[in-house]
């Protein structure tokens, strides 16, 4: 099945990525190379301590080159004392704490992750949590929101997907939330509350996690869950990965909700051309998103002009408002073209009674 992956990236995100990569990639990569050498030469009994070592992320990201690394500063203000658990709560936690395993996952270093995980008995161990986007992250959080310590857009998608596979093989909990301060979003939120997630890998990573038990209905402090009947690109990818993994005889454990949708599709897949329909929807959604980004950009320009009282700025503001009016008309036209397709797909695939849905989940 053809995989439909959103391609849109905002200019703000791209600027952030470029600036981050320039300042951070070198020393972090150098450090992980050093850790790997230490791991390879260490006695088996000491290897877990190497991959779970508490690190000061703020200090690591401040380096301009790996040669400047000071191990004392690297491990300062972090450690076991900062991780005191009681009823799923942490008091207190340093906002800059990470570890080599989490760094390797975040940067998409598939082979290194596989090597490090080989010495981890409990991948859900609370001692492995790190600080993510305004909340504590478990390893599945890190894999689904690859933005710390840097946003790495050049990592092959397959590497990221295989890292999720590796975590699943180790029994990772894709629904675990550490309830402490800040946000309390599940891994499937995948940085949704942030404007810096990677648009082109967001749905693929979520789709993979859904096969391993991630609950689309699980909500967070600023995440409303996912309605798969509306997220057709995500559903298409989930179906595609499901078929692919079934051929490999992989051990999958999607929730009953996801299983029901997968089974319904498998029963009805010959009734219509899903690929063609989803491709048409995706193209129109992409076009609509581009128009909406243009409108946002023009609105920002108008906001800037409001502080100016010149005749020239007034004329320019009026011209921008006319452009926005025309763009909004085009968005409405696209909505009319997209919505019938969504209705058609819902009617074909999802028009089942609760009893039929439950039966499909059990099959």
**What are 26-66's pLDDT values in tens digits?**
788 889 999 999 999 999 999 999 999 999 988 888 887 76
Q: Does 84 or 262 have the greater pLDDT score?
A: 262
Q: Dig out the tokens for 86 from the structure.
A: 């009681």
356/84 Cα distance (integer angstroms) = 47
pLDDT of residue 91: 45
Q: Hey, which residues does 90 pair with through a beta bridge?
A: 85
Instruction: Summarize the chain as % helix, strand, coil (round to 5).
Output: 60, 5, 35
Residue with the larger pLDDT of the pair 52 and 239: 52
What predicted TM-score, i.e. pTM, was given to this entire model?
Answer: 0.70
Confidence class for position 94, pLDDT limits 50, 70, 90 = low
- Over the chain, what is the mean pLDDT? 80
Res 144 pLDDT > 90: yes
Q: Closest Cα to residue 261, out of 236, 233, 224?
A: 236
Residue carrying structure tokens 């992409």 = 286
* E-assigned strand segments in 81-190: 85-86, 89-90, 97-98, 130-131, 136-137
First-to-last C-alpha distance (Å) of the chain: 22
Percentage of the chain exceeding pLDDT 70: 75
Banded pLDDT at 13 (limits 50, 70, 90): very low
Q: Cα–Cα distance between 261 and 238 in angstroms, integer?
A: 10
Between the ranges 246-255, 263-272, 338-347, where is the mean pLDDT highest? Answer: 246-255
The structure tokens listed for 167 are 């975590």
- Residue positions counted in the chain: 363
pLDDT at 306: 81
- 20 or 48: whose pLDDT is higher? 48
| Beta strands 55-56; 136-137: pairing state | unpaired
Q: What is the distance between the alpha carbons of residues 117 and 168, in angstroms, rounded to a whole number? A: 11
Over residues 200-213, the mean pLDDT reads 92
Q: Please give the Cα distance from 60 to 24 (Å, whole number).
A: 8
Kindly state the DSSP code that residue 250 receives in the 8-state scheme.
-
Write phi, then psi, for 135 (nearest 5 degrees): -165, 170
Residue bearing the bigger pLDDT, 219 or 332: 219
- Please list, in sequence order, all residues whose beta carbon lies within 8 angstroms of the beta carbon of residue 106, skipping any fewer than 6 positions away: 142, 146, 147, 148, 149, 150, 152
Burial status of residue 249 (CB atoms within 10 A of its CB: 0-12, 13-18, 19 or more): exposed
Q: Please list the residues that pair with 97 across neighbouring strands.
A: 56
246 falls in which pLDDT band (50, 70, 90)?
Answer: confident
Query: Is pLDDT at 3 greater than 50 in this prediction?
Result: no
For residue 2, pLDDT beyond 50 = no
| Cα–Cα distance measured from residue 141 to residue 106, given in angstroms and rounded to the nearest whole number | 10
Q: Mean of the pLDDT values across residues 183-192?
A: 89
pLDDT of residue 172: 98
pLDDT of residue 346: 61
Element of type H or E holding 140: helix 139-144
Answer whether 159's CB lies under 8 Å from 147's CB.
Answer: no
């Amino acid at each position: 099945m053809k995989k439909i992956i959103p391609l849109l990236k905002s200019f703000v995100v791209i600027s952030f990525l470029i600036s981050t990569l320039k300042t951070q990639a070198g020393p972090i990569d150098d450090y992980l190379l050093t850790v790997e050498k230490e791991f390879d030469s260490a006695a088996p009994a000491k290897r877990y301590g190497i991959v779970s070592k508490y690190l000061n992320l703020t200090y690591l990201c401040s380096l301009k080159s790996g040669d400047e690394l000071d191990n004392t500063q690297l491990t300062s203000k972090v450690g076991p004392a900062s991780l005191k658990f009681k009823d799923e709560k942490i008091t207190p936690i340093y906002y800059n704490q990470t570890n080599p395993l989490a760094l390797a996952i975040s940067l998409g270093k598939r082979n290194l992750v596989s090597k490090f995980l080989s010495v981890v008995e409990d991948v859900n161990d609370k001692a492995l949590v790190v600080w993510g986007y305004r909340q504590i992250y478990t390893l599945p959080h890190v894999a689904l929101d690859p933005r710390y310590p840097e946003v790495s857009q050049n990592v092959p998608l397959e590497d990221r997907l295989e890292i999720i596979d590796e975590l699943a093989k180790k029994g990772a909990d894709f629904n675990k939330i550490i309830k402490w301060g800040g946000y309390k979003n599940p891994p499937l939120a995948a940085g949704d509350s942030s404007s810096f997630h990677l648009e082109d890998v967001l749905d693929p990573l979520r789709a993979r996690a859904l096969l391993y038990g991630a609950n689309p209905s699980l909500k967070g402090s600023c995440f409303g869950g996912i309605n798969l009947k509306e997220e057709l690109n995500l559903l298409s990818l989930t179906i595609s990965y499901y078929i692919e993994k079934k051929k490999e005889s992989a051990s999958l454990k999607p929730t009953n909700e996801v299983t029901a949708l997968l089974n319904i599709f498998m029963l009805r897949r010959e009734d219509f051309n899903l690929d063609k329909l989803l491709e048409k929807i995706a193209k129109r959604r992409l076009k609509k998103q581009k128009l909406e980004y243009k409108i946002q950009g023009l609105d920002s320009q108008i906001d800037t002009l409001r502080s100016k009282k010149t005749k020239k700025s007034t004329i320019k503001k009026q011209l921008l408002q006319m452009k926005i009016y025309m763009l909004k008309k085009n968005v409405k036209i696209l909505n009319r073209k997209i919505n019938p397709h969504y209705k058609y797909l819902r009617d074909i695939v999802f028009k089942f009674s609760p009893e039929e849905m439950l039966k499909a989940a059990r099959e």
